[in-house]
Amino acid sequence: MVNNSTKRRPLIIANWKLNGTSAFVSELLEGITEQWTGVHQAEVVVCPAFVHIGQASSVHLAHSNIALGAQDCSQFEEGAYTGDVSAEMLHDLGCQFVITGHSERRRFYNETDALVARKFDLAHKALMTPILCVGETPEQREAGETLAIIKRQVGAVLDYCGQEKLGRCVIAYEPLWAVGTGVTATPDQAQEVHAFIRQLLGPAGQATRIIYGGSVKPENAEALFTQPDIGGALVGGAALKADDFIEICKAAEL
Ligand code: PGA
């Protein structure tokens, strides 16, 4: 249960990363949509790979209460950028959310704070909700630099887009030492950073959904969600199994 004094709607997002064939995606979506019918407190979003977005949108999600998101978008609006997928193209296919600045993009594709801010802005312009991912490395946490890193990453988008736009998006706190490692931040560790992010956002941040990511599983979800500033989760590994993912979604219900 998300402990939500200000009535922010709980949000659970599946990040399927570079996984699955179209048959796998169909099966996974069937498993999720079958178990998530009717009216729910929590909002559920799935983010397939680009190539599976059209299939997810038209075949499975058109008549479900599950929203569609993308894992990334281009830093450009249109033109001669081979291989890129624009925010507008994603919106056109039915995406309502876009992940920006995921640690794997920052790490493996050298995405900088400035580039992330541009993508964030384009997602917003294309009428989608950007999900801004922030988080520190194990070394940075060890050196006591966690809050300074978060301030820099959030600050870059704040400077570029302003408080109001950022306040209307979603922020995911994902410590790198917890993403895909099986090690989860303790509820207290996560809450500390979530509260700090909310404070950075100023008055506009009261309504902002700040969610946690990093080895969220059915076993640890509820303890995280009872923290006052944790509004849901960005789920990687555990989102590849319909039953586990649905259990996490249920843990977020009021
Ligand atoms: P994980 O991934 O749940 O497998 O740690 C989370 C993420 O990368 O968003």
Residue 57 included in any domain? no
Residue 65 included in any domain? no
Residue 63 included in any domain? no
Judge whether 102 counts as a catalytic residue.
yes
pLDDT tens, position by position, for the chain (254 residues)?
A: 666 555 799 999 999 999 999 999 999 999 999 999 998 999 999 999 999 999 999 888 888 999 999 999 999 999 999 999 999 999 999 999 999 999 999 999 999 999 999 999 999 999 999 999 999 999 999 999 999 999 999 999 999 999 889 999 999 999 999 999 999 999 999 999 999 999 999 998 999 999 999 999 999 999 999 999 999 999 999 999 999 999 999 999 96
Residue 72 included in any domain? no
In ligand 1, the atom with minimum distance to the C-alpha of 103 is 8
Q: Which residues line ligand 1 (CB under 6 A)?
A: 15, 174, 179-180, 213-216, 234-238
Work out the burial of residue 7: count CB atoms within 10 Å of its CB; fewer than 13 is exposed, 13-18 middle, 19 or more buried: exposed
CATH number, domain of 194, equals 3.20.20.70
| Residue 234, helix vs strand vs coil | strand
Q: Whose CA is nearest to atom 7 of ligand 1?
A: 236
Residue 151 included in any domain? yes
In ligand 1, the atom with minimum distance to the C-alpha of 178 is 5
Q: Half-sphere exposure of 149 toward its Cβ, with a 13 Å CA cutoff?
A: 21
Strand partners, 234: 13, 213
Q: How many domains does the chain have?
A: 1
Domain with 236, as residue range(s), is 11-33+41-49+86-251
| Ligand 1 binding pocket mutation candidate from 11, 12, 15 (most atoms within 8 A of CB) | 15
